[in-house]
Structures are given as structure tokens and as C-alpha cells.
Chain A
Amino acid sequence: MSDANAPLSLDEVRHVATLARLAIHEDRLPQLQRELVAILGHIAQLQSIDTAGLEPMAHPLTLSNRLADDIPESAMPIADLLRNAPATEGDFLAVPKVLGGESS
């Protein structure tokens, strides 16, 4: 399953789209598969580099993240934050039913 040189199957593309929360139309999957296979084929060159014992470098600087002091501050007004919401009810974001949907 974890062979970086194995080509990506159509089922795997479908699975990744589900993980990525993208409702990609079936018609588009074969082309997306071809493009991803080509890109992954190029990226496979990373496998030929000797990385034994190397510490992964997640960040270019040797800075550590700074934590804010635990002091309450005034937040943005709720009305400002809700102005961009597609659907609201009072001071709340409105969403479809979370439980009881067909695929949940």
C-alpha cells in the first residue's frame, strides 16, 4: 500500500477526493488520475536521495513558536464575524442537520 512507485488507481483517486472533501465528478477522475500519476512520477526522484538519519526540517528558521500570554483580550464583534457567513440564525452559523443524514 505504501509503495511510492506504484501508480495511483482510479479507486485511490476517488478515496483521496473523499478525504479532501471534494465532490469531483466521475467524468473528471481519469484526467486527474493521469495528471497526479505524472506529478508523482516526477516526485519519485526523492526516493533516490539518501536521507538516512536526517532530521526532517518542517520550518526554515530555528525560531520556536511564541505563545501569547494568557490574558483575555477583546475579540472581533460577532456581527463582523458573521457578515461573511452564507447562512445565519441570530448569532449562530446555520448548517444542515449534522446527525441523521443518509451518509452520516
Chain B
Amino acid sequence: MTSDLVSVRDDIRAGVTTARATVDGYLTRIHAQNSTLNAFHEVFDDESRAAADAIDAKIASGVPVGPLAGVPIAVKDNIVTRMGRTTCSSRILENYRSPFDATVIERLTAAGAIMIGKTNLDEFAMGSSCETCAWGVVRNPWDPSRVPGGSSGGSASAVAADLCAAALGSDTGGSIRQPASLCGIVGFKPSFGRVSRYGLVAFGSSLDQIGPLTHRVRDSALLYQCMAGDDHRDSTSAPHAVEDVVTGLDETPRRFRVGLPLQYRKGNAPAVDAAVMRAIEHFRSMGAEMVDVDLPLTDVGISTYYVIAPAEACSNLARFDGIRYGHRTQSTSARDLFDLYAQSRAEGFGGEVQRRIMLGTYVLSAGYYDAYYRRALQVRRLIKEEFDRAFTKCDVILGPTSPTAAFPLGGVTDPLSMYMCDVYTVNTNIAGICGISLPAGFDESCGRPLPVGIQLQAQAFAEPLLLKIAHAYEVAQGGRARIPASIP
């Protein structure tokens, strides 16, 4: 049976177990499972054992420890760590070692968390299946012939298989929530600006956000609480004070309104629609009011996203030039700087990353900027206004996280079809609001049971309310009754 982060933390603190025994247990499971799942690219065996021993020594001598003392956390490999390498699952950063830790790593370490390893992702976080990872595909513990989702698929697979107490991911258009949905765990994307991105390798700078992937909602709340807040090193981090989201988590709001967009009911797998219907019944039984809301631009989200995100990505990825760090071509035909840039980049970046750089370069190029980029930013304003109107009628918006459960590896080969996996998640990032994916049952129509998720979205900086409502749903639903059959 898997253990949630708060239980692991409490057991260490109460002396039921030690941090060292906890870490050893996770390391044993990682080494048994990772050859199948490929969730981790690098595991910090020695460093995590040493960190656990240090925590145990503190506890034994009565020194106060932080709220995450001894808890092993996995880190998506696009978040920089001094320990080990940071590759973004890309050949261009195969041997990159960061000279500094990301702010989230500093804050979690200060709270006592132990970094147990780095997890695989779709290359540079561009994908929805973890099939573009340069270090091989990641597999779903519920059915290893299927994808874990992406791009934080290594983190989702690791949490679902109980290879860590929780994991960090990043979400630019659904990259925390969609893999959480496909792996049957909780995935939380905070509002834009809420968690510092200092040390997150930039993809879409107006969209990226770091967040947790966990077993339970309270785990996500605790990790969020430890990471969130202003950071002078990230000029886009919000100066607003972070409210306490842990203490009041058990208090279900007395009255709340759940918005149901008509546009979220088209083209979903039957098991996904059924999960949303069950969630509606749970919320009704809590006394919540169901209201219809209108989000007619839902279908335009993918188009808007695939202008803005590639435009930002092609600018951000211009830094990978083979000069200061990363892969440099060894080809003798690279005779001048242009050749050196172009050949290093063509050798280092995989196909999907090159496609998005091309798309971004095109939509920003002379003659097309107004028709694509400027127009997408105008539609972005309409999408934001559409959410603002919806949130005058409701507190949270309920719908599916992903239209389907996990699909087979190699099952989606056309780039545009892959992009459509994120139809319910991209607009959250476009508008900068917060969203959470919650386990909501199983699709039993594909052989092995496959998890399906529901998503709740709330206004920017409404994390306290979103997490309370998510927690109430989790309690009503009865928690996770099953664990992946492939996991001993």
C-alpha cells in the first residue's frame, strides 16, 4: 500500500520509523522498478542516505526539524539541482551540471525534504506522453504498455508506483495535471507567479509554473506551502503573501458553487464523463450548488497555446548555442559561428523540440507576427475574460483533466493529435489561474483498469479555496482504494 507524504513525515517525526529506513525503502523500490518504468534518469543513493542520517541525528538529539523532515522527493529534471545533472531529458544538456539550486530546491531542502533523484520528462517539457524523452520512454505503472502522460510523466509514474513520497513537476499547458490524471494521483498547478521559477529551465515564460505531484491533496497543500511565495530572483513571482493552506484544509466551505461548462462534455471517453458525473453527485451531497457556465473559447485554447508557447520557447531555447554550456558539434564542417550554432542545435534537440522552435520562429517572423502572435495574445485576453465572467457565477470549475485515460505507447503519432490531449488544461495556463487534477475512478474498458482524473480550476490566487474543495472531494470519494497491479 502506498504511503502519502504527510503519513511518511509523521511516522519519522513520531519515531515509528527513521528517515534512513524510509529512504532505504524507497531506494529499494526504485532499483526494483525503474528498469521497467524509466521514471528516474538519476538516483541520488548516497546523497539521500547521508541527508536522511543527518535528519535522524537531529531528531535523536531533539533539534527542531522542518515540516518535511526526512521526506524523499523526486525532482523533474528541468529543475536545476547542484546535485547530479540537469538534462531536461535532452541530448543538448546531457552532461550539464548546474552551479546553483533552484529556489524550490532550496526551500524544500530547508524544510527538511530529501531529494532522492531526477525524473524523466518529454524533452524540454514539450509533450503529453513522455515519448520524446531522450533517455527512453517512461511507462505507466498501471499498465507498462501505456504512456504515463507528460511532460511530468517521470514524476507521475514515480509517485504512482510509490518510488517517492511526492514529486515536483512543471506545468506549461497541463504538464503536471495530465500525467497526474493518467497515473491516478494528485497534480496541482498553482497560479502563475505563485511559485518561483528561478532555476526552472524556461519553456514558456508567461505560462510555466512549478507544482507538486502527490498521493493526497494535503500532501500537495503542504508542499505548495513550503515552496510558494515571493522570490527576488524571479521578477515574475507575485509579492502577495501566501495564505496558510494546510491548517484549515479540513474545513469544507459551508456554501460553494461548482461551475459546469457545456464545452467540457464533448468527445470524452465514457469513463471520463462518468467520473465527472460521480464528482457532481459528491459535490451535491456536500450541499454545493451546481451552475452552468459558458466557456465557448475552450476549443480555441490549443490554437492560442500553439502560437504563444512555441513563440516563447524559440526565444528561451535560443540560449542553447553550443558556446557556454551544452552540446557542441564535433563536426569539422562547422567552420564559422553560424554553422556551430545550427549544427550543435540540430544534433542536440530532438524532433518535437525542433518542430516547436520552427513553429515559434515562423509565427514571430516578419510578416506573420501580427497574423499569429499578436492575434493569439488578443485571443488570450478573451479567454481570460471568459474565465473572469464564469468565476462571477461559481467558485470552482469542474471538468475532466484529460479526454481519455492513458493511451498505448506509440498510439498517438501525429503531432496535432498529441496537442489535443491538453484541450482541458492549456487555458488554465493561458489565463494564469490555478488548477488541480484529482483521481476520480477507473476506465475498465481497456483490459487493465486505467485511472481517470477530474480537474478543478479556480481564480488566480484562490489556492486556499481550491485546495479545501479538492480535499473535501477526496474525502467524499473515499481516497484511493487501489494501487497499480504491476507494483508488488
Contacts and interface: CB of A to CB of B under 8 A. Distances in A.
Nearest to A2: B367
Q: Is the interface of A mostly helix, strand, loop or mixed?
A: loop
Contact of B336 (A2, A17, A60, A98): A98
A84 B324 contact: yes
A23 B339 contact: yes
B197 to A, nearest CB: 13
B357 interface: yes
Interface string B220-255: 000000000000100110110000000000000000
B416 A16 contact: no
Contacts of B304: 46
Contacts of A76: 99-100
Q: Which of A12, A16, A76, A87 has the most CB of B within 10 A?
A: A16
A38 B372 contact: no
Nearest to B310: A39
B17 interface: no
Contacts of B306: 39, 42-43
Contacts, number: 195
Interface residues of B, number: 76
B331 to A, nearest CB: 9
Contacts of A56: 374, 377-378, 380-381
B368 A42 contact: no
B362 A36 contact: yes
A61 B192 CA distance: 7
Contacts of A55: 378, 381
A85 B324 contact: yes
Interface of A: 1-4, 8, 12-13, 16-25, 32, 35-36, 38-40, 42-43, 45-47, 49, 51, 54-61, 63, 65-68, 76, 80-81, 83-87, 93, 95-98, 101-104
11 contacts: A38-B414, A46-B379, A49-B300, A54-B382, A57-B384, A66-B235, A68-B235, A84-B324, A95-B323, A95-B340, A98-B336
Closest 8 CB pairs of A and B: A60-B432, A101-B336, A56-B377, A84-B325, A86-B328, A4-B371, A51-B378, A23-B342
